[in-house]
Structure 1
Amino acid sequence: MRNGSLVRRRQLARTLRELRVHAGLTIEAAAPLLDFSPSKLSRIENAHQGVDVHIVRSMLDLFDVGGERWTEILELTREASAKGWWRAYGLDDKGYLPLESEASAVRDYTVTYVPGLLQTEEYARAMFEASLQRRSAEVLARDVRVRMIRQDRLVSPSDPIELFAVIDEPVLHRPVGGPSVMNAQLRHLVSAAALDTVELRVLPCGIGAHPAMGGAFTVLSFDGLGEPDVGYVEHPMGSVHVEKEEDVARARLVFDHLRSVALSPAESAALIERVAAQM
């Protein structure tokens, strides 16, 4: 699944920028030698504009890059240009999905709903139906399907993703989709929590005030890709990516605190089972 995402384009952009600097060229000096404007080269180096292998070959020639490095960068260029699997469902490369598709680990704190990677089809459908965004039956089915495909990586032997989830206790009591749908969702949480790739903790109401009372957030990590962690926050007016290093570091610190004060995975599973038995 790891193809054509924003992360690969960022990798390529950073690499091309580093090669230019190593060659001792400024953007203003390099651009005309590539028949680019300085603004175009800047867009390429900031991953705001894509490039194909023909353009990258010209850049590698100018920056005097050869051998294995040449081959590696051209392969990265092809990967960055490849279409992500979500394109087949009519989705573009913006938003959260392309980032998650490259992530090795997700830290997810949710306060009003079950994390998407742990939702059942019925729960996800109920969530989409409750949204103010109008969806046709076809679009609704597509969105549910895409959410289910994302979950495949939790059990993938070749391309796994780790999920560290902390959910607020009230999430367990909110009957999204009705009691039967919610009961099935709770039982699914217990099953999913038994996966090696999932750590699920419940933040009990009894702990009182805590540093994440401002709302939910997600932190994505990209081990092995050389990319820094990225924060992601959804809100009623849309969503925002957080890339500033100190802001993301603060989010990680808050998440670690939540994990430390939340119930243990075993205690969390036991609580979920009790709530399901009462529903």
Structure 2
Amino acid sequence: MASHVNPTVRRRRLGQELRRLRELKGMTAEAVAERLLVSQSKISRLENGRRSISQRDVRDLCGVYEVEDQRVVDSLMQMAKESRQQGWWHAFGDIPYSVYIGLETDAASVRNYESLLVPGLLQTREYAEAVIERIEPEAAPADKAKRVEVRMKRQERIHDPVSPLRFWAVVDESALHRVVGSPRIMREQLEQLIELSHRPHVTVQVLPYSVGAHPGMVGTFSLLEFADAADSSVVYLEGVTSDLYLEKHAEVQHYSVMYEHLRAQAHHPERTRQFMIELAKEYAG
């Protein structure tokens, strides 16, 4: 369930506002960095929300941008204070994709394409344990257990009775044929997918082998959208050692069009459900 104050979203929103003030002033990030005797990369990180913003940073930037309305300054200072709070995920220590978790926690909807795995938000505990065990064989048992718990905690957005996450998943057929853990785990995973697919805010579509080549072959991605118009959509691309977040309108639009093609080529949700029922029976056998 989303917390009242999300530090990741606050940082992102504050960064967007600081960029807007800089552009209104007609200054480049390099010029601002020179005025404040900091690196240009720091200004860029502050504006893209990837770095924590202190109230001192906000005060100094407002001075450079000659912001005279004290109400605006106070509002930005408050956002900076809130952006330094800790989200629920910080209790689990260093999580590689904590920025994504922060965005997902506050998102209104997520459109996800998966080529090799069942989407994390729809995984059973045993499936998640088996996946993490094989993907991170060198990790300490405690770290693997932590990753599983974080994944289960994230799923609260799906089960939130008041404001559930609108989740649309297109899953390549190969992900459901790949036996993760055991046939029993796969059967139970499929049964959970079937159950979740009946919920009005969850849609699951299988992309069959028969479509041949398709736009999703470039890799897995997620599109996150937010209820607040001030928060622009984000494309998330997960990497092995680092992740990529795309926020430019043209980039987001490109992936949105890709996703529409994938949805059009995938089985209809009803046909997908029947496909999963039949495959679950095979695993049971």
- Scaled to the shorter chain, the TM-score interval is 0.7 to 0.9
**In structure 2, how many angstroms separate the alpha carbons of the residues matched to 1:46 and 1:189?**
35
Which residue number in structure 2 is paired with residue 84 of structure 1?
A: 87
Residues 30 and 135 (structure 1), Cα distance of their counterparts in 2 relative to 1, 3 Å cut: closer
Q: Tell me the secondary structure at the aligned position of residue 224 of structure 2.
A: strand
Q: 1:237/1:138 Cα in 2 relative to 1: closer, same or farther (>3 Å)?
A: closer
Whether the 8 Å CA contact 1:60–1:66 is kept in 2: the answer is no
Corresponding position of 1:227: 231
Q: Secondary structure at the match of 1:196?
A: coil
Deviation at 1:42, TM superposition (A): 2.5
Q: Which amino acid aligns with 2:89?
A: W
Work out whether residues 23 and 63 of structure 1, in 8 Å CA contact, stay in contact via their aligned partners in 2. no
Aligned equivalents of 1:239 and 1:209: distance in 2? 25
Provide the aligned C-alpha RMSD in A.
2.8
Match of 2:174 in 1: 170
Partner of 2:67: 63
| Mapped partners of 2:25, 2:269: distance in 1 | 51
User: What corresponds to 2:192 in structure 1?
Assistant: 188
- 8 A Cα contact 1:111 1:167, kept in partner: yes
Q: Distance in 2 between matches of 1:208 and 1:27?
A: 46
CA contact (8 A) 2:166 2:202 kept: yes
Q: Distance in 2 between matches of 1:113 and 1:120?
A: 12
Give distance in 2, aligned partners of 1:201 and 1:180: 22
Distance 2:241 2:54 in 1: 35
Distance (whole Å) between structure 1 residues aligned to residue 174 and residue 32 of structure 2:
57
Shift in alpha-carbon separation, 1:237–1:75, aligned structure 2, 3 A: closer
Calculate the TM-score normalised by the size of structure 2. Answer: 0.83
Distance 1:4 1:250 in 2: 28
1:42 alignment counterpart: 43
Separation in structure 2 between the aligned mates of residue 264 and residue 122 of structure 1, nearest angstrom: 28
The residue aligned with 2:263 is 259
Question: Aligned partner of 1:37: which letter?
Answer: L
Decide which of 8, 11, 29 is 1:9's aligned counterpart: 11
Contact 2:89–2:98 under 8 Å retained in 1: no
Query: What does residue 119 of structure 1 align with?
Result: 123
What SS is found at the alignment partner of 1:227? coil
How many residues of Structure 1 are paired with residues of Structure 2 in the alignment? 276
**What residue ranges of structure 1 are gaps of 5+ in the alignment?**
none
Percent identity, aligned pairs only, is 34
Query: Normalising to structure 1: TM-score of the pair?
Result: 0.85
SS in 2 for 1:177: coil
Give the Cα separation in 2 of the matches to 1:165 and 1:91.
27
Change in Cα spacing, 1:51 to 1:96, as seen in structure 2 (3 Å) is closer
